[in-house]
Amino acid sequence: MRSGEYLEGMLSDYMGGKAKLKGQKGSSSRLVTILTCLQFAFAVYATFLLYFMSPSVDLRGKPDFSWATRIAHQWKQLMVTPHVVSHYQEANALIQSEIIAPPISPSQVCEHEKIDFVQKKSSDGVMIKFKRELYQQVLDFQRKSVGTETLSELMRMKSRWDLHGPSIPKVTVILNHFKRKTLCAQIDSLLHQTLPFHHVWVLSFGSPNEQSLKRIVDSYNNSRISFISSSYDFKYYGRFQMALQTEADLVYIVDDDMIPGKKMLQILSHVAGTEKYKNSVLGSIGRILPFRQKDFTFPSYRKFRSKEAGLYLPDPAYDITLDRVVQVDFLSSSWFLSAELVKTLFIETPFTFMTGEDLHLSYQLQKYRNAGSFVLPVDPNDKETWGDSEHRLAYVSETTVIFKDIVQVRDDQWWKALSTGYITQWAAMYPQKIDALFYAHSIDEVKALAPLLEKFRTTVGKKAYIVVSGGSFCPCEHAAAALKWPKAVCRERRFKIFDLGVGSLSSLSNSEVPVLQGVYASMKGLIKIHNPSVVITVSDIDTNVKKALKMATESSANNATTTLVLLPRASVTKALWMADLRPTTLPNWNKMRLTISIITQNRATSLDRLLKSISNAYLLGDEVAITFNMDSKVDEATLKLVNGFAWPHGPKVLRRRIIQGGLIRAVSESWYPSTDDEFGLLLEDDIEVSPYFYMWIKYALLAYHYDPQVSLPELSSISLYTPRLVEVVKERPKWNATDYFKRIHPNTPYLHQLPCSWGAVFLPKQWREFYVYMNTRFTEDAKANPVQIPKSRTNGWQASWKKFLIDMMYLRGYVSLYPNFPNQASFSTNHMEPGAHISAKDNVVKHDKTDFEVPLMKQDFRTLLPNGKLPSASKLPSLNLFNQALSLKGLKAAGAKLGQDVLECNAAQIVMVNHQTGLPSHCATF
């Protein structure tokens, strides 16, 4: 009978009144007894319902109620799995049996790892020497650069997390287990930590020992220790994915081969709370990746008998113990970090999910968080401070020993990391210095940059590498093919081409963030490693990539001497001379600012020709300002031309005089420098320029003005024009520089004391000086001018600003740089059209157009120079005002001898000026 039917029968008998009075009394007693038992049973049932349903009641943590826990588990099983009890007495018996059954203790289910071997010790004297020397080099470097504290020094540092307050951190410990029998040893150690843990999560992913691991966790009967399992093996990354779920402050992820000492949580938390190490991942075992070999390649990190193969720290085989904190390239076996930093591991898709989570974590933390990886020191006399109190377990369990071909996979992984900006200890200890780092985001950009890259790589003494976006944007193999390089360059461990893999990260995303973030983070690291003088790319590159490159080159964390160069594709082949500049000069590429000042009035046709020639020039993508200086009598056609002229390369400024100023004022007041990096190109409207004029100006300024190893303070201007006459001599004899310098080199540039007025760039410091000089010496009556240069026809010039400039240059020994090419081909020419001088009524000198009009340079002039490049400043020949060879010192001596400057100096001195104001300050011996 079911219990309900049994009760119903008894009640029926009682109510029927068929029994005798004595029998009725017995029935009444039995009924009371039955009701009491049922009441007790329901009370017990309700109690265990509350036990499982209430989140605020946790009896499992109280040892005195362990019997209740077991009974509750059984009741839960009864509730979940349908079970029929034939009689209420059977249920009561079940309860009694559960109360009597003894609890399961850890000692009944725990298994312990047998370590029946001794620690391996190397007997290889050569390798012991290699390893210890390398470790000492690393330690010496880090002691000077970042500081290496002992354990006691670390514990004395001020920390946010301290065992004694003000705040104790919450630490979630994650134990990952598969087959090893170390779980009990780990839990025992964690339960006795000097800093209590917040939670312990024991993970079992695809383990054949899942049930035994679960029994062990259950045996501890601790609500802070949880068991999490899955039939699917999430391998090495699963534990980090679980770590994302923690609400703790810190996470301690421990392999099953690590049994931490009882002080580890306290030590790790304290160090993680210091200002210096708060943005770090800490551990007990680490690796330093290989160093470059003599053949410029990197060996495998598992290569034996090689001092470049890196370090395993600590390494008992070579008696290397750590008494100081050491920065490593990645940690093994345990990782302690803030819960926030764990997210960084998943910014990029790992190289593989089969292995390498240790390297990937350190790589991503450094790349995106500037976070380092550190192995903490230990007290050798106190095993409670050790993170691996039984190091033999960790030493023999590396995946490189267990899995076939895993070494090759990990080698490929760390090389990929180094190629995308991972600053290893080798890179930090031995910062490289290269000339240029090219970046191409597409195959077309690779092809556009190829000539300049090849020029850098074939120039003696130059180093240049190329970075490609990779993935679907620009695969390395395709880039190598475009450069006519073997595809093997994408696999060999040698610096040449770097594949960032950005296309793999963002090809399926419509957001610009992955591109911006990926390019910036990688290029920032590569710039830090290789310290290029310039990063070169095409000017029309993707906007987000351009932003990323700009941020990377300007980052305060990087070397400030790296400059981003954006070249128009059409200009790349015209700028091959860039490879001839010194590495110390290249960072100044973007410093110079050119202002083109055009002096015009009423020659609209001539002006139109000049403007077209300027518009067709190769400006290298630089910003160039243009200013029109118009006198008061400017005609309508000129105004219309000037107003309608489009100038996309920089600001356009129009200036018009109210009162006619004449040629002296029109030229001398047309430009004044605003900084020491602004240069003025003065052009009258009957000048025409070569497409290469800007190339010549920039090349010359970088080689002779911005090169920190060049001292040429006498240089005051750079001429675009090559003269055919000696114009300061009365007879004005013809002169050919090519013939004159044929013994040196027929096409050598040269220094000349004569300034050029038919296309020249003036340097800011000397132009300020000229302003002050002219203001001091200008007189309406030319004969009143005190400067009289012996045998110079310039003494009689009356309406020329150039006369005052000649006087100043002669007195102070200044020179101009002149081009010198076959047939006097130049970067500007004078068409000798009627104006203020030519055909003027008071000009008695007859001008033959063939003596002034020279051919314009229409080809790449670099190949015509001596040895294909500008000669060093010390090899530039110099001429005096009369085209006679004279040293720079001789030029100064001639000016000092004349003694007609604004300050009275002796014959061994010249006037020195304040270059900020141009005002003369004192006399100085030259």
Tens digit of each residue's pLDDT (9 = 90 or more) over 278-302:
999 999 999 999 999 999 999 998 8
Given a cut of 60, whether residue 836 has pLDDT beyond it is no
Note the pLDDT of residue 434: 96
Give me the helices (H) in 260-303, please.
264-272
pLDDT band for position 42 (cuts 50, 70, 90):
confident
Note the pLDDT of residue 87: 42
**Strand duo 326-328 + 372-375: pairing:** antiparallel
Residue 110 parent element (H or E)? none
Given a cut of 80, whether residue 397 has pLDDT beyond it is no
Distance separating alpha carbons of residues 357 and 410, to the nearest angstrom: 10
HSE-up (13 A, CA, CB side) for residue 238: 21
Note the pLDDT of residue 287: 95
pLDDT band for position 199 (cuts 50, 70, 90):
very high
Note the pLDDT of residue 37: 76
State the average pLDDT over residues 398-407. Answer: 60
- Structure tokens that stand for 52 in this block: 């499982």
- Structure tokens that stand for 804 in this block: 């005052």
Task: Report how far Cα 498 is from the mean position of its chain's Cα atoms.
Answer: 14
3-class SS at 156? helix
Distance separating alpha carbons of residues 314 and 139, to the nearest angstrom: 13
Lowest mean pLDDT among 397-406, 607-616, 650-659, 670-679: 397-406
Distance separating alpha carbons of residues 593 and 586, to the nearest angstrom: 15
Looking up tokens 């200008």, which residue turns up?
Answer: 778
In whole angstroms, how large is the CA radius of gyration of the chain?
Answer: 43
Distance separating alpha carbons of residues 418 and 529, to the nearest angstrom: 9
pLDDT band for position 86 (cuts 50, 70, 90):
very low
Burial class (CB in 10 A: 0-12, 13-18, 19+), 330: buried
Note the pLDDT of residue 834: 75
Residue 228 parent element (H or E)? strand 225-230
Note the pLDDT of residue 463: 97
Note the pLDDT of residue 135: 95
Note the pLDDT of residue 157: 95
Given a cut of 80, whether residue 318 has pLDDT beyond it is yes
Strand locations in 696-808, DSSP E? 715-719, 750-752, 760-762
- Structure tokens that stand for 568 in this block: 């128009």
Lowest mean pLDDT among 61-65, 251-255, 338-342: 61-65
Note the pLDDT of residue 26: 54
Residue 548 identity: A
Residue 204 parent element (H or E)? strand 199-205
Given a cut of 50, whether residue 39 has pLDDT beyond it is yes
Per-position DSSP letters for 537-553, written without gaps between them? EETTS-HHHHHHHHHHH
State the average pLDDT over residues 736-761. Answer: 95
Given a cut of 50, whether residue 507 has pLDDT beyond it is yes
- Structure tokens that stand for 449 in this block: 């940059």
- 36 or 490, which is more confident? 490
State the average pLDDT over residues 39-58. Answer: 59
- What confidence tens digit (pLDDT) does each residue in 159-171 have? 998 777 678 999 9
* Alpha-carbon distances of 407 from 353, 356, 713, rounded to whole Å: 15, 10, 59
Task: Report how far Cα 798 is from the mean position of its chain's Cα atoms.
Answer: 60
- Entry field: residues in the chain: 926
**Residue 12 CB contacts under 8 Å (≥ 6 apart), including other chains:** none
3-class SS at 69? helix
3-class SS at 105? coil
pLDDT band for position 92 (cuts 50, 70, 90):
low
Note the pLDDT of residue 97: 47
Ramachandran quadrant class, 449 (left: phi over 0; alpha: psi -120 to 50; beta: rest): alpha
* Alpha-carbon distances of 347 from 159, 363, 368, 369, rounded to whole Å: 29, 11, 9, 11
3-class SS at 681? strand
**Residue 274 CB contacts under 8 Å (≥ 6 apart), including other chains:** 154, 157, 158, 159, 160
pLDDT over 90, % of the chain:
71
Give the best-scoring range by mean pLDDT among 38-52, 356-370, 509-523: 356-370
Handedness of CA 711, 715, 719, 724 (dihedral sign): negative
Strand locations in 578-692, DSSP E? 593-600, 624-630, 652-656, 678-684, 687-689
Note the pLDDT of residue 70: 52
Note the pLDDT of residue 25: 47
- 179 or 336, which is more confident? 336
- What confidence tens digit (pLDDT) does each residue in 625-667 have? 999 999 999 999 999 999 999 999 999 999 999 988 788 888 8
- Average pLDDT over the chain, rounded to an integer: 87
Given a cut of 50, whether residue 926 has pLDDT beyond it is yes
Note the pLDDT of residue 47: 64
Lowest mean pLDDT among 56-70, 171-185, 242-256, 367-381: 56-70
Note the pLDDT of residue 65: 44
pLDDT band for position 835 (cuts 50, 70, 90):
low
Please, are residues 488 and 505 in contact by the beta-carbon 8 Å criterion?
A: no
Distance separating alpha carbons of residues 1 and 71, to the nearest angstrom: 26
Nearest C-alpha neighbor of 248 from the set 168, 189, 176, 192: 168
- Structure tokens that stand for 13 in this block: 């008998």
- What confidence tens digit (pLDDT) does each residue in 247-264 have? 999 999 999 989 999 999
Per-position DSSP letters for 20-65, written without gaps between them? -HHHHHHHHHHHHHHHHHHHHHHHHHHHHHHHHH-TT--GGG-GGG
The structure's pTM equals 0.84
Given a cut of 50, whether residue 110 has pLDDT beyond it is yes
Please, are residues 527 and 437 in contact by the beta-carbon 8 Å criterion?
A: yes
Lowest mean pLDDT among 121-125, 484-488, 592-596: 121-125
Question: What are residue 172's DSSP bridge partners?
Answer: 199, 251
Residue 799 parent element (H or E)? none
b or e along 108-119 (b: 16 or more beta carbons within 10 Å of the residue's beta carbon)? Answer: ebbeebeeeeee
Sheet with strand 330-332: strands edge to edge: 311-313, 285-288, 330-332
Distance separating alpha carbons of residues 494 and 531, to the nearest angstrom: 17
